[in-house]
Structure formats: C-alpha cells, structure tokens
Structure 1
Amino acid sequence: MVVETIDTIRLWNLEGQQISEPLKGHITYVYSVGFNPSGSMIISGSLDGTVRLWDAKPNLFDKPLKSHNDKVMSVAFSPISKNTAQGVEQVIVSGSLDTTIQVWNISGKAIGIPFKIQTPQKVNSVAFSPNGQIIASGGEDNTVRLWDLKGNPIGKPFRGHSKAIFSVTFSPNGQMIASGSDDNTVRLWNLKGNPISKPFQGHSQVIYSVAFSPDGQMIASGSDDNTVRLWDLKGNPIGKPFQGHEYSVNEVAFSPDGTMIASASRDETIRLWDLKGNPTGKPFEGHSGNIFSLAFSPDGQMIVSGGKDQTVRLWDIDGNQIVEPLKGHEGSISSVAFSPDGTLIASASKDNSVRLWRGGNWKTWLQEACNQLQYHPALNKPKNENELAARQTCQRLVWIKK
C-alpha cells in the first residue's frame, strides 16, 4: 500500500507497518500516486509541478561497500555472472590506493580476502577478462598483474613501463591486454606478459585511459596532453589526434557498436567523437568539476559519468541528463561501470567506498510515466517550465516514433 502525505510518500504493508523509508523529493503537497502494473515503480504527482518516479522495491544498495582503507580508484563488473549455492550472482572488483584488490557480490559482501601485492603498491586500475575468470591490475609499481578470482597471481608481473600504470583493459577476445602509463606510452601484451608490438608513442603527457574497439582492431587512449588518440594494434596512429578538450582527458570509451568514442575531461565536459576525430553533437555539460570516469550502457543509449563533484550522472547520447544526479559519495568519484545487463551502476570513490545504484532501467520507468500521463492536461497543454520540460522529454525519448 502506498500513501501520500504533505511532501512525502510512504509505503506500508497490509498490517500497517512501514516497509521502507519515506520517499522524499517533492517540495509541497503530493496529490496523486500510483503503481505501475508490475508493482516495481511508483509514480507521484505534486503541486510543485513535477511528476516523480520511485523504485518501489527495497533498496538493496543503501549501504556503501566498504573494505578498503584508502581511496578506491577503479571498479569493474564481471561480464559473466557467478554460479553459487544460492543461485547466480553478479560480481564486482575494485582496486584501491591501499594496495589491495577486492571482489564483491552485489549484496555488498566481500568475497574472500583482499588481493595484496607482495611489495605493496597502490592499485590504479582493474579489469575483468571477457570470460570473467581473470582480473588484471595496474598500479604504482609500473607493472601489470594477473589474478584468478581467489587472489592467486597468474604468472609473473608484466614489466616494461618505466612509470606508474593508470589504465588496463582486456581485448574483446581476451587474448591481449593494453596498458596506459605515466611514461606517456601505451603497451600491448599477451597473457604471458610478452609485448606484442612496439610501445605506442605520440602522447606528450601521462596516459590516463585506454580502451579497445568492440572488434578488437583499434585502441583509443586519453591523455594529460588534452587529446584522444586512435591506434592500430601495431602502435601506428590512425588519423590525427582528437582535439577539443581544454584540459586532460581522463577516460575514453568506445560505443558498443564501435562507431563513436566518448571522452571525459578535467574541463568538466564529456565529448562524443566519430572515428575520424570529428565531434558529434555538443559537449555534455553538468558536472561542476573534473570528470574522472565514464562508461557506455550495454545498449549504447546511455552514458554514465562520475567526477570531483561527488555525483554520478546519467546522460542520453545527445548530452541530456536523464535523471537527477545520483548522490551519496563523500569524495570524488574515480570510476563508474554498468553491469552487463545495464540495470546496475557501480561507482568507486575517494571516500574509500564502492556504491551500487539502480538506474540503468530508466527508460522503462520513463516509458511507463510518459504513457500513463500522455493525455494529462499538464503534458497536453503545459502551463509552466516544469510541465513543458516533461512534455519535451517524453516527446524526445518516448513518443518520437508515434
């Protein structure tokens, strides 16, 4: 049962017991509430001129995942769910400046003890292999390391970089690893730690991010020299550097279809590029500080970002913010990732925690709200800015095909 009060919504069971914290967000009277057919979502309307959507399920993710004793720099979902005695569960890995790597389930329980490098060095980046069986890490000891899911090292550290490694990633076929370093180079390795090609040279400053194209034939890199570069697997540059950011490029990501590259920058913007380095659309603006991380949703329709302003933000690919910023961290957000099914978001922060968010299924929520309110006077004949904005959002994202 759902009941509205002056500016809050409360959920009750049939015995009169509240089953969640009050849902707060409206600033004046809530006059109408309703469930969607599946009972998973609540829609509310208020005299403040807004319609709000709420998750009716208990919030599994109200507590941060805490185990690390220092800033968490990187987080990644396993692409493969793990079979357990309780069923199938999704697995997350995090890497921290406390020199450890930790594996978690989505209930927030640490799986096993933290992986610890024998000669403790800060961990800047972690990544899962495509089969979910291997974790790669890169950090302040200038090496790439491989681990099994129990924290046992696989082979010897990959040595070749002369300075700290800030980014590691697996190729789509799982047979190669790319790394980006403070020595201004990208390196490509096989799983035994042997270099596959010459170092990729061209950036003039530290490389913060590397990413493989979905077909595994190209690598994108982002650097403190304010540029994005594209490379073939032999280390040859493809085209000219992508120029447009005013400050360092902290993260790059290919769209799932491989036609676009997204970049996040210290200049407080996200930019989308075609593969020739031409900007596609306007810069995404909204963060109030350095943007450290971004990721595409699996369907390519959304981008999630996190930054110095301690918020996680969701965008459509036109640069429009989809929902209010997700708040909860008490420090800069250093890494964000979507779950393989796109329904969950993980964020890692310099507050020493990892947090999980529902939010990837925003489009289902939005479709439900827009379709139920399609003939409401507020959307048919908007009388204020909020109603007009709601109508435009529905037109752009839901009713476009109608």
Structure 2
Amino acid sequence: MRAADAPDAERLARVFLARVLEPGDEAGGRWVRELGAVEAAGRLREGGPQPAGVTDKRWAGLRARARQAEPERDLAVAQEAGVRFVTPGDGEWPGQLDDLGDARPCGLWVRGRPSLRMWALRSVAVVGARACTEYGAHMAAVLGASLAEHGWVVVSGGAYGVDGAAHRGALGAGGATVAVLACGVDRPYPRGHTELIGRIAEQGLVVGELPPGDHPTPSRFIVRNRVIAALTRGTVVVEAAHRSGSLVTARAAQRLGRHTMGVPGPATSGLSAGVHELLRGDAVLVTDAADVIELVGDMGELAPDRRGPVLPRDLLDPGARRVLAALPGRGTAPPGAIARGAQTTPDDAIARLYELRSLGYVERHGDGWKLTRQAVTAARGGGSRCRPSVFGRPG
C-alpha cells in the first residue's frame, strides 16, 4: 500500500503545510526545521505560540489559511487523480532538493509512474523564453531530443515557448521528461498545454509543490524555478531577455553550485540578451547536447573535437604541402625556385612535384611547373571544389 493511502502524522502535517505556506517560504521552512512538521502544523491549526519574528498580521493571515486546510481531502483528491505526495525521508525524495535549505519544499505532488529520485539523478533543465523565436524553439527541441536519446531526463516548466519545445523534443525521441508546474498537478497550466502535460504524465512525470486544484500566480512561477534548478545537474538557457524568469532558474542553479549553460543567439536579438549576459559571467556556452553532457555527465563523457571540413591538401605530407605552397598563383616556376621557396633540395622538390602532378595539383609546362586550375580554385576557397577522385589521399 502506498504511503498516501495510509497517511501518518508527519505526512498529514506536511500536506497541511503545503496548503498553508507559500512555496519557498524560508521563515516557514525554518519553523519546520526547528519545531518539526507536526508541531509547526499544530501551532498553525490550534493557534499555539507563534514563532519568534512573526508579526501578528502575518500570523493572523496564516491562521486564516490554516482554518481552510483539509489535508485528508487533499490526499483523497490527489489519489483519485493518480497523484502521490512525496516528502523528505521518503525513498522517492530527491536528496538534492535539500540543498535549498529552509526554502526546501514541504513535499512534492507527483503525477506519473517513474521514480522522481531516480530520474532526477541524471537530469538537465532546459528553460527559456515563452515568446521564443523559431530559432529558440528549434534549439530547445533538438537539445531535448538529443539529451533524451543519450539517456538524460529533460526537466522544464511546461510553459509555452522553449519549455514546451524541450518537452516535445524529449517525448518525440521516446525519452524521459519532467514538467515542474507552478500550480496543482491535477490542473495543467497553461491550458493550451493540457494535452502536452497529459502526455508528459503518461510518459514521464509532472511535479509541483502546490496541492490539488491550486492555481498559479506570478510569484509562484518565480519560486517554482528554484525547484527546477535544484532537481537537476545543470540548467541550459536557450533564449532569455534581460528580465526573463528563466534567468531566475539559471541564477538559482549558480547559487546551488550546479552547472549553468547558455545557447548563444544573434547579437541583435533582445531574446538572447539575457543569455549573453549569463555567458559574460560564469555560464558556459553550449551549442548541442554533447557540450551539455560534457559538463554535467560523468568523467570521460567528452564532446567531440570541433573541426572544420578536412580539405584534400590537409591529407598531403608536410613536405608536399611546402612544395605546393611554393608555387606561384599564376604562371610557371622552375624547380630551383620552387625548391628555394619550400626550403628543400631541387631533387626533393622535383620528386614532390611529380607526386603532386599524379594527384592533380600541378602540371608541367616545359622546364617549369604551375598549379592546375582546380588547385587554384580550391586554394582561393572558390565554390568549385576539387573532385575527390582527383584530389584523393596521397599515394
């Protein structure tokens, strides 16, 4: 039987506190740490001694909310919706959330079959602008899909724009994704993402601090972001203006000692200005999943070397490249002049020239040598490339 089916006093107290205290309430978190969840809930419910430093006005407001709280009903509604309540100390509780200190959630409402703790161990947050550009949506979807294909869990906020694109990318790749909501997990928000959040619940996990039926507010979106940052090994910001909420996630990740990454965009785009500001600080520039995994993954999970295309002349022996470079761009040159330019002997230069002729780089004209038309075009970076059959690997 699940713990939610037979709640103990500690679990009921935390469900009660999740209804009374706002997410991220550090003063409330301190009461729970100092008094214990059961005692803190009892004081709120019964009007016991109010904690030191709490004004009468605030205490009255909390007491009013406490009178409306029905933890048994919240658990029943959650169970009916296929939602469980996970608390610190449970086997499914992700220990990295404890890094939030007194801002740690009282518990998390979880919808979906997988274990939140196991999934959070190998997860990356992909966040960004709601009103993103096509470029931002493309990058988020590609990152989500590629991370999922490499066995990483993609965590985001379920919002429009970058969040939705990252979730869809992971789902499309048949991978794992987690949506952390700023409302009750039984009431998807935004409503336009009802179908998407339903798919996430079927294939992944939907998580939130707020009890069933609760609605989002601007402040709840902001404090929700600390959970995204704490759950994951690192946060990637795809697009963000200077005042974007996704920057809150990135800064929370930095405070928690998590990796912070940014995907660069056009210097002229206001939706990339916030990302570029992060990159001027401690964030790391990433362009694909391999870059991300190199940072957040285990030792040895390195991104491939970034190199330009291998040109035919790159495959030549160094001596042959020096002789080729010694030929003039126009006209012919005698072997002696070519040898001096290549800093070699005339006999070596002649041997190299015949090698280069067999590969299609040079041709002989009387006693002189000149570059072929294809070699001149390739050297200038023209649109016509030398054919592999002509410019193959050296013999």
- TM-score normalised by length of structure 2: 0.24
The higher-RCO structure (CA 8 Å, 6+ apart) is 2
Higher helix share: 2
Task: Please state which structure has a larger fraction of its residues in strand.
Answer: 1
| Larger radius of gyration between Structure 1 and Structure 2 | 2
With structure 1 as the length reference, what TM-score do the two structures score?
0.24
